Every structure is written in structure tokens, then in C-alpha cells.
Amino acid sequence: MINTIRFKEANCKNCYKCIRSCPVKAISFNNDQAQIMEDNCILCGNCLKVCPQNAKSVVDEIGKIKEFIKKNYGVYASIAPSFPSAFKSHNVKVLFSALKKIGFSYVEETAVGAFLVSREYEKLIKKGEMRNIITTACPVVVSLVEKYYPKAIKYLSPVVSPMIAHAKILKHTYGEDIKVVFIGPCLAKKKEYKDGENDNLIDAVVTFDELKKWFEDEDIDFNEFESENVKDDETLIERYYPIVGGILKTIDKESYYKFLSIDGFENCMETLDAIVKGNINGYFIEMNSCRGGCINGPCNNNSSFIEAYDDILNYVSNKNGLSHLKDIKAQVDLSKRFYNKEIKSLIPDDNTIRNILKKIGKFKKEDELNCGACGYSSCREKAIAVYNNKADLHMCLPYMREKAESISNIIINSSPNAILALNSEFYIQEVNSSAYRIFNIENINLIGKNVFDFFDCPDFLIVKDTGKDILNQKFYYDKFDVTVEQSIIYSKEHEAIIIIMKDITKEEKNQEKMNKVRSETVEIAQRVIEKQMRVAQEIASLLGETTAETKVALTKLKDTIVTKMGEEE
């Protein structure tokens, strides 16, 4: 079966807003993806209205209707009485003419069916056999009772909705072969008409939002139909149906029943809780799931509720004609049966619930915040959903935030480097323990202090002004006699400056000592070289003098010997 509402996987952002808005929690969440549980869903449409990512889509039957028109079927439109609030027209002929232009053979207000439904309600009231009577015009209320309050089924008025009543009238009047299309603000009608008991009376359902899109695609201009203004004195009071108390306006209330109009899920569920407990007796209750009535339906985007309400009042007062209304007679069977379709969840024992809660850090009652961020009203309710495979264990946002913060704190505080986070005004927002240790300032709280009161580095300003990071630059903080290898990172999106400082003071001092030793060694070597050169030079000088003297002596000796030899000859 194709779900009436479908989720787009790529768009789901794990915000759980749809679960929070679902009154019966018919949305499962597994593997970071929300899914409609078709059997549990009552098609209230709340998830459609609240989804911030537009991650949900509705089954569209316009293509199916276009095929009917293309094949020359007689396509008859039954349009819900809330249409003036959607199309801002107090003249019925304008919308009817626009519908005929896009291919509909005949258009009539669903209020015609509501007229007969109200007569059936009056019969039930006069009989007075039911302890309480709940109206069945709202298919969401019917599904709510059948699935979640089966003990209240006996109080549902055994009467079809105005949509089904009108379809029966149309097919009885114009033939079984015509195609009937219901047009309205209600998403649940897309499922109601497929109920086997409705005998295929409705062939397709189009929402007001879908019809508007269709008109846009066809370039329909309502102004061209404004001249088609036909009025008479025929008033159809059932046009009040879409507003709170509208049904009560259409019936004779001369009976022992007390008459009450209930709208909105909270009020409906609260009333049904009281009814199944047996505390309520002698009430005729008009019940509508949408707060404010059908004019506030999920597929009827109005500018404001009060304007939509005013549109209905103005439309009814204009007395747009239905001249054949006085000839409508109950020539069709409008009875309806309802069935127990109760949805039951497995309820684990307390020990199992406790074990589930322990897995997300909830070891005692005080740990159960019941914040509702996961979409469930209490931690125990979420644990039951986990047990029934409707929810992920880690959907608990406080737990995941605490876990993420814990992990990030471990990472930051385990880092041997000093880490500071500054705001755009250079005030310190975060600082890790290593920063205190490296700069030996454990007795000072840096949070909220201006960074320049402690770390006077002009690079902070340069990074903020230019938006360009400075990475792995050496900087000496003479105030602390600390040298760091520093990276300054600017996050424009968060308007924050992140500073990461690696303490290289020891290495720098070791390097200075090494450089000093090397310098001294070079100096000593230079002195040794110079001394050796001097010694060599002195030796050479002495050797030079000795050699000269020896030369002189030997020369003299040679000359003496030569002289003697000459004399002897």
C-alpha cells in the first residue's frame, strides 16, 4: 500500500518536530529517518504543517483526474463548504466556472450532502436512544475513535460524512458511471473514500492546495469569471459546517441532549477519555480534529484564521443559489457502520523500561527530564517506543548533547596544547586546562576576560580584520616567558576566533643553550686556531732566524776552507 503521506529521506534533519506534533505518535524513527506508520496514522496532517524541511509529500491524484477528463468521462466535482476561505470568493459561480474550464463536467457544493446528514442527525436526536452522540463528519475523529478509543465507537453517529452523502446523491441523480471528485482542505478524505464500505462512490480526492497548483499550471485567472454572478434567495445553512459550531447551527436542538462543539486534538482526546470512563451522559457532541474547524485544515493555507472565518460568514450571507435544494430528498442510504481497529502497543515491564533508560544515562528518576524534545511526552513513553521499534534509543537530545559535550571536553581538555575561543569582541568564551598550566595562571579565571589583558598578540587583530588564518607561527609572550607555536583560526559563520598554542618554551630554551654552546665552541675553536697560527708563525720566524744564522756560519766556513785551499796550492 502506498502511504498517503510520504517522507523524503534526503530532507529529514532529525528534529523530531513531526513526532512531537503527532497526537497518536504514528511516526517511527529509525536509522535517522522518519516514517509514517500507515496503520497507526489517522491522517490529521499535523506533520505536514510543522515540518521545517518540507520533507513530507502527499499522494497527488490530479494525474488520475486528468485521465478521466481525457477519456471523456463525466467528471463531477463535490467541493467542500470551506472553499471561500481558500479561494477568497463569495461568488460560487466564479470557482465553478474555473473548475469547468479545466475539464470538470459539473460542480456542486458538498453542503448538499451535509444538508441530508444534518437531517439524519436530527432523527437520532429525536429517537434519543444513544447515550451520547458524536458527529462523524470528520474522518480524523472517526479514525481516532476506531483506532484509539474503540469503547467510544458505540457513540459515533451511524451516519456517513457529507462527502459520501453527496457522492451518493450525485451518482443516484446522474448515474453510476460518472466520476466523482471531492475537493477540500482535509487530508484524511484521501483515505476515507477508499473505505470498502463506501462502494467506490468517490473516484479521487484533491486538496485545496493541489487545486490551486492545478489552476496555476493552467494559467486560470479568476477575474475573467467575476461577471458570472448569479444569486437567489435560497440559503443553505449547511455552508456553516466548516466552522466551529457549524453543524449545531444546522439542526433542531429541541431535545434532552446537551449540545457541545469540540475542536482541536487535545480537546477531542480529553473528551473521549471522559466518555470511555463513563462520566459523560446525554451529550450531542460536534467533534472536529482541527482547531477552529475545517477552515483550518492541513491543506488549506489561509492568511489568518479570523479572515477564513469571516470568508465563510460572508459567503453564507450572500445566499449563493442552489435552486434545486428544496427538491432534495433522502432517497439514498446514509447509514454507516464503524469497526474496532484498535492499535495496541506492547508495554514492557518496569525492569525492561529501566534498562532502556539506563542505556541513555537515566539511572534514577531524577535523570528523567521529560523534556519532550524527542517527540514523546515522557522518557518512559520514549522507552516504550524504543521497545516497540518506533524510536531510536539515542533520540534523547539532552543525553546526546551531554555525551557530545563530554567527548568534546575530553578531547579539548586532554590536549597538551592551550586552546582558547574568543568572541568577535575578543572576550574569552572557552579555555582549556592546558592554557592555565602552560602560562602558570591556575589561580585566574580567564572566562569573560579580554584576551589582550593577558595575551598581547597583534596577530589576533590581523586575523579578525582580514578573515585569513595565521597558522603555525612562533610567538613569544614575554609576560609569561613562554614561547608558543600558534595557530589563529577565524570562524566567520560563528564570529569566533579559535587560538591553539603549542608550548615550545623548553625546546626554544634548549635551542638557545645549544646555540650558546655552539657559539662558545666556535669561539674557542677560533681562539685555538688563532693561537696555533701564532705559534706556527713564531716557529716559522725562529726557524727563519736560525736558518739565516746557519747560512751565514756555513758560508763563512765555506769561504775559510776555500781560502785555505787556495793558499796551499
Domain 345-414, CATH 1.10.150 — does that match? Answer: no
Lowest-pLDDT choice from 58-62, 313-317, 356-360, 419-423? 313-317
Residue 323: what pLDDT? 42
Amino acid 53 reads: Q
Confidence class for position 399, pLDDT limits 50, 70, 90: confident
Chain Cα centroid distance, residue 448: 33
**What topology is assigned to 417-503 in CATH?**
Beta-Lactamase (3.30.450)
Q: At what angle do helices 379-387 and 350-358 cross, to 10 degrees?
A: 100
* Nearest CA-CA partner of 147 in 279, 56, 272: 272
φ, ψ of residue 204 to 5 degrees: the values are -170, 155
Q: Which three cell numbers stand for residue 266?
A: 487535545
**CATH assignment of 1-59?**
3.30.70.20
Per-residue pLDDT tens over the stretch 197-255: 777 899 999 999 999 999 999 998 887 776 655 444 345 677 888 889 889 998 998 89
pLDDT tens string 161-188: 999 999 999 999 899 999 999 999 999 9
Domain span(s) for CATH 1.10.15 in the chain? 345-414
Q: Are 180 and 291 in contact (CB under 8 A)?
A: no
Beta-carbon contacts of 523 under 8 Å, excluding residues fewer than 6 positions away, are none
Positions of CATH 3.30.450.20 in the chain = 417-503
Q: pLDDT category, 322, cuts 50, 70, 90?
A: very low
pLDDT of 21 higher than 50: yes
Q: pTM for this one? A: 0.72
Rounded CA gap, 248 and 139, in Å? Answer: 18
